[in-house]
Structure 1
Amino acid sequence: MSADKVAEYADGLCYTDLMAGYYLGAPEEVLQAIADFSAWFFVWDDRHDRDIVHGRPASWRHLKGRLHAALDAPGLFLYHRDPLVAGFADSVLRLYSFLGRRWNARFARHFHEVIEAYDREFRNRTNGTVPKVDEYLELRRLTFAHWIWTDLLEPSAGCELPAMVRKHPAFRRAALLSQEFAAWYNDLCSLPKEIAGDEVHNLGISLIRHDGLTLEEAVTEIRGRVEGAVMEFLSTEQEVRRFAESLDDGSARGKQISTAVSSCLGNMRNWFSSVYWFHHESGRYMVDNWDDRSTPPYVNNEAAGEK
């Protein structure tokens, strides 16, 4: 974004507001780092999109490699000439400062998977390949970065959770449902833009192409999935709450873990309201106000990459 477009559009995109509504109770420096990382993620998503639209595979391959490298050694990329790479390195270095090496390694492992998922989306969109519904849903968990946003619950709660907690079926299910809701609701709100742009990565487009649904039927199906995620979360939430209570065994450590799980669960619930609000307040999805329904007015098509 050019400076004048930043002044005109940045606040209205509400990127940092989305995170502020999700990670409630996080220390200020943690919330700021997450909010900055979230803003970076949206910019990266738009760069990825423009590289596809303008046929810049070399630009994307170069960026992909630099992001993988910066994830493993962020200190080496703080002053990279591409501000997207430098911004990523800065965000990662700050996020790595809050918890321990195991959390950092897990975050890195999860984000390496996200980068590779973006590469698969690049190939699908370049080739015009619409994934089948099940394939798309699996890939969407990575391109939406389900486990990244879940990982970030822990520094917000000030506690790295043991594997036995993170892998508890109810805890993991609640985390997945909060993110599935967000990804599917995003697809619903993005559908007009992505149909206008002749895109292939959207649950609605997969339903239309592979299940033979009409546009109206696809919208109804996505809404049903969104509502189902809400209802199942409400049921699963009660199980996680009981699990959190059981972790308080009278020891200081037990109390700490129990409190952290309750905090994480509360913010999983916050994800629903924050995501819903964001999609109706952010200028990112107000396609009816754009001259071109496929392209946000704040995107600089000539920025970065091959010309």
Structure 2
Amino acid sequence: MPADKVDEYADGLCYTDLMAGYYIGAPDEVMQAIADYSAWFFVWDDRHDRDVIHGRPGAWRRLRFQLHAALDSPREHLHHRDPLVAGFADSMVRLYSFLTKKWNARFARHFHAVIEAYDREFRNRVNGTVPTVEEYLELRRLTFAHWIWTDLLEPSAGCELPTAVRNHFAYRRAALLSQEFAAWYNDLCSLPKEIAGDEVHNLGISLIHHEGLTLEEAVQDIRRRIEECITEFLDAEKDLNRFADTLADGTVHGKELSLAVKACLGNMRNWFSSVYWFHHESGRYTVDSWDDRSTPPYVNNEAAGES
């Protein structure tokens, strides 16, 4: 954003507030790093959107490859000429400092997949391809970065969870439901903006285009899915609590692991309230007050990254 836009809009976008409501209990330096990374993610999403709208495939391609490179060697990109790449590198240096190289490699693997999913979305939008509902749901888990936000539960809890714990059915189900709720609630709140902008990536748009639903029926369907996420999470929460109890085997390590899982679960629950609050407080979704319902007033349309 230009400086005057930062003064006018940045605080009202509430990007860091969203994370503060999710990763409760995180050490200050972890919370700050996650909050800054979240703000970066939204800016990246807007750059991606502008590259599509203004027909800048070359700029997007360069950014895509630069982000892949910065993810693998962030220190080498801290002074990159594109502030978006430099900011990403800074976030990665900080996030990579909290746990082990094994966690870092997992995070990188997950985010490489997110970058490629954004590329698939770029091509779909350029070609006007509306994915089917099932295709969209699969892609959305990547573009919303379900497993990135789940990974970040661990440094917030101060504990890197063993693979057997993370892959346990109860843990993955609770984590997935918290993220599905967030992604679908985001789709619901973004639908007016994305219809106005002739978007092709939104659950509601896929339902209208491929299932023949009216706008009102699509909204009802998304709301039903959101409500089911909440109901199913309450059951998953009980299962994961019971699983966490079994980890407390009488050893110090077992007790610490059990408490860490419960901390992660507590923040999975917090995702629901934080996401709900964010979408009704952030200026990112107040489309009825914009001159152009498809374009946020704080977006800079300059050809960033073009050279």
Q: Amino acid of the residue matched to residue 248 of structure 1?
A: A
Residue 261 (1) aligns with residue 261 (2) = yes
Q: Amino acid of the residue matched to residue 38 of structure 2?
A: S
Q: 2:170 & 2:111 partners in 1: Cα distance?
A: 23
Q: After superposition, where does 1:133-152 map in structure 2 within 5 Å?
A: 133-152=133-152
Q: 1:163 & 1:156 partners in 2: Cα distance?
A: 17
Q: 1:85-138 CA deviation, whole Å, 9 max, x = no partner?
A: 000000011000000011000000000000000000000000000000000000
Q: CA deviation at 1:226?
A: 0.3
SS at match of 1:9: helix
* Counterpart position of 1:287: 287
* Counterpart position of 2:228: 228
Q: Amino acid of the residue matched to residue 291 of structure 2?
A: D
* Counterpart position of 2:21: 21
Q: CA deviation at 1:305?
A: 3.3
Q: 1:104 & 1:72 partners in 2: Cα distance?
A: 10
* Counterpart position of 1:52: 52
SS at match of 1:227: helix
* Counterpart position of 1:100: 100
Q: CA deviation at 1:252?
A: 1.1
Q: Amino acid of the residue matched to residue 5 of structure 1?
A: K
SS at match of 1:156: helix
* Counterpart position of 2:243: 243
Q: CA deviation at 1:303?
A: 4.6
**Residues 82, 305 of structure 2: 8 Å contact kept:** no
* Counterpart position of 2:158: 158
Q: CA deviation at 1:256?
A: 1.0
* Counterpart position of 1:90: 90
Q: Amino acid of the residue matched to residue 225 of structure 1?
A: R
* Counterpart position of 2:79: 79
Q: 1:174-220 CA deviation, whole Å, 9 max, x = no partner?
A: 00000000000000000000000000000000000000000000000
Q: Amino acid of the residue matched to residue 62 of structure 2?
A: H
**Residues 56, 305 of structure 1: 8 Å contact kept:** no
SS at match of 1:262: helix
Identity %: 79
Q: 1:198 & 1:54 partners in 2: Cα distance?
A: 14
Q: 1:306 & 1:242 partners in 2: Cα distance?
A: 53
Q: 1:273 & 1:303 partners in 2: Cα distance?
A: 36
* Counterpart position of 1:64: 64
Q: 1:181 & 1:42 partners in 2: Cα distance?
A: 18
Q: Amino acid of the residue matched to residue 201 of structure 2?
A: H
Q: Alignment length, in residue pairs?
A: 307
Residue 39 (1) aligns with residue 39 (2) = yes
**Residues 51, 305 of structure 1: 8 Å contact kept:** no
Q: Any gaps of 5 or more consecutive residues in structure 1?
A: none
Q: 1:195 & 1:39 partners in 2: Cα distance?
A: 24
* Counterpart position of 1:12: 12
* Counterpart position of 1:186: 186
Q: Any gaps of 5 or more consecutive residues in structure 2?
A: none
Which deviates the most, 59-68 or 247-256? 247-256
**Residues 192, 287 of structure 2: 8 Å contact kept:** yes
**Residues 194, 294 of structure 1: 8 Å contact kept:** yes
**Residues 191, 204 of structure 1: 8 Å contact kept:** yes
* Counterpart position of 2:3: 3
Alignment TM-score, normalising by the size of structure 2 = 0.99
**Residues 290, 297 of structure 2: 8 Å contact kept:** yes
Q: 1:27-83 CA deviation, whole Å, 9 max, x = no partner?
A: 000000000000000000000000000000000000000000000000000000000
Q: CA deviation at 1:243?
A: 0.5
SS at match of 2:23: coil
Alignment TM-score, normalising by the size of structure 1 = 0.99
Q: 1:229 & 1:253 partners in 2: Cα distance?
A: 32
